[in-house]
Structure 1
Amino acid sequence: LAFEQQSTEFLSEKYQNDIIVFHCQEPLAFAMGMLHPKVYLSTALMDMLDKEEIDAVVHHELHHKYSYDPLKAFMFSMLTKVIWYIPVLKHMRQSYSVFREVIADDYAIQQTGTELGVGQALLKLIKKKTQFQKQTKFAVSFGDRALNLRIQKILNPTYNIPFNVPIIPIVTSAILMVVLMIMLNLNY
């Protein structure tokens, strides 16, 4: 990862935080790191967005940093992989990711005082959706459901994001838990 020194120093000083601008042809922004997360922005993103949009994106990612979302996402991911046989966990992880994105958007809107920066940045990212993002589905923020909900929330701040209860995974998970408990008790 090659860093863009001048932008890194400028943004780190401006926001009094660890913000790293790295050379990349993809427009990317993310918080990464477990115990000491940092915010990363690609040079392509910096070139694509104006100052207000960059401000909104930085605040959005700072919220992920302050909330230790990279650590939480990692733990949730590990939990769903270790306890893969409980299907409701996968749905909960996806819903959690969407809610964290919306909460980070709300924080950015509060910090900047307007929905414009977040909204315009999202629209530019949708238009710029690259082959890389289509192939890797890099982040939940590029997922169709998450984007639609985020834009709907920006357009209508009183909109409540629906939490769909997946009946089949819940019933399957409950049955599996009961079977596991019975099996554990049979050994004693």
Structure 2
Amino acid sequence: MREYRLWSKFIFIAGVLISGVLILQMGLYALHVIMHWNADYNLIELCHSMLQSFGFSFAGYILQAVVYQTFFLLVFIVVKQAVQTRKFAGKLQACRDEAWTRRLNESYSTARGSITVIDSPEAVAMAAGVFKPHIVLSTGLLQLLSNCELRAVLHHEWHHAKSSDPAKTFLLTLFASALWYIPILKWFLRNYKIVREVLADDYAMRRMGTPAELGSALFKLLKGGVPARLPMSHVSILDTSINYRIRQIVEPDAKLRLSWPLAPAIISIQVAAALCTMFVIVLY
């Protein structure tokens, strides 16, 4: 699993770094436009030497539109997430099954996150919460799985909770949505989810000592259908790549093959170069 952990770190760091640099540059540009504050844009010095003599008047308008739209989306998505998380917390309290919640928290006192059981016929198992991840299960899930299968699912979700996967996934989702014109960020998000699910599966199988219970649980959950996705940030055992993960359980020696995103990378480089060019034209 070392390869998967390396992929996970690479994808997350690369996604955050690319997004952070672009957002920082846009922030400096916004300060330049609004407050007439001059700054050295080191990332575009190379472009500057070639394009300093150009003077395209439309570049400033395009750049302002991109920058303002990006910051609007960043704020909108964060506020929307906060509102939806607050609503979800209220719904959890309203349909919380106190008896099952108390029983599971007493039975699994070593859990790294608190367990909440909700009264719902759907099979729900997820790690939710950006700042304080906790595990949410449903009574439908408890009725569907055996005790051993339930333990395997709990180990899977504990791994997500202790690794802060809901927060990391939300951060990559935020960047991929706000910087929608950088397509490689969507590739990072999609493959990060796959790798994290595989790592959580591996953790559950190692804790159980066998893949049988997790595989059986996945088959039962898949047969019951994938529940509707919730709007707030969470990571569910049925989130993504179920078929691949079942194959990984059946054939543990099979390796995850992530194809390099050549087309998204080329488009992203072109877009970044265009933004760099416009920064140079406007600021110099």
Could you tell me the TM-score, scaled by structure 2's length?
0.61
Q: How many residues align?
A: 183
Q: Distance between the aligned counterparts of 1:41 and 1:49, measured in 2?
A: 12
Are 2:157 and 2:237, in contact at CA under 8 Å, matched by a contact in 1? Answer: no
CA separation of 1:160 and 1:41: change in aligned 2, threshold 3 A: same
CA separation of 1:98 and 1:52: change in aligned 2, threshold 3 A: same
CA separation of 1:30 and 1:91: change in aligned 2, threshold 3 A: same
Structure 1: give runs of 5+ residues left out of the alignment: none
- Shift of the alpha carbon at 1:140? 6.8
- Shift of the alpha carbon at 1:180? 1.0
Task: Using the aligned pairs only, state the percent identity.
Answer: 35
Q: Distance between the aligned counterparts of 1:137 and 1:180, measured in 2?
A: 35
Larger Rg: 2
Q: Distance between the aligned counterparts of 1:141 and 1:7, measured in 2?
A: 20
Q: Distance between the aligned counterparts of 1:170 and 1:141, measured in 2?
A: 29
Q: Does residue 178 of the first structure (1) align with residue 273 of the second (2)?
A: yes
Partner of 1:151: 246
Q: Does residue 11 of the first structure (1) align with residue 104 of the second (2)?
A: yes
Equivalent residue for 1:88, pick from 180, 184, 193: 184
Could you tell me the TM-score, scaled by structure 1's length?
0.91
Q: Does residue 43 of the first structure (1) align with residue 104 of the second (2)?
A: no
> Which deviates more from structure 2 when the two are superposed, residues 44-53 or residues 6-15?
6-15
Q: Distance between the aligned counterparts of 1:142 and 1:110, measured in 2?
A: 19
Q: Tell me: higher relative CO, structure 1 or 2? Use CA pairs within 8 A at least 6 residues apart.
A: 2
Q: Distance between the aligned counterparts of 2:263 and 2:136, measured in 1?
A: 39
Q: Distance between the aligned counterparts of 1:22 and 1:140, measured in 2?
A: 15
Q: Distance between the aligned counterparts of 1:68 and 1:108, measured in 2?
A: 16
The alignment partner of 1:73 has SS state of helix
Residues 8-47 of structure 1: per-residue CA shift (max 9 Å, x gap): 1122122223111111121010001112111000110110
Q: Distance between the aligned counterparts of 1:137 and 1:42, measured in 2?
A: 15
Are 1:26 and 1:42, in contact at CA under 8 Å, matched by a contact in 2? Answer: yes
Q: Distance between the aligned counterparts of 1:6 and 1:112, measured in 2?
A: 26
Q: State the superposition RMSD in angstroms.
A: 1.6
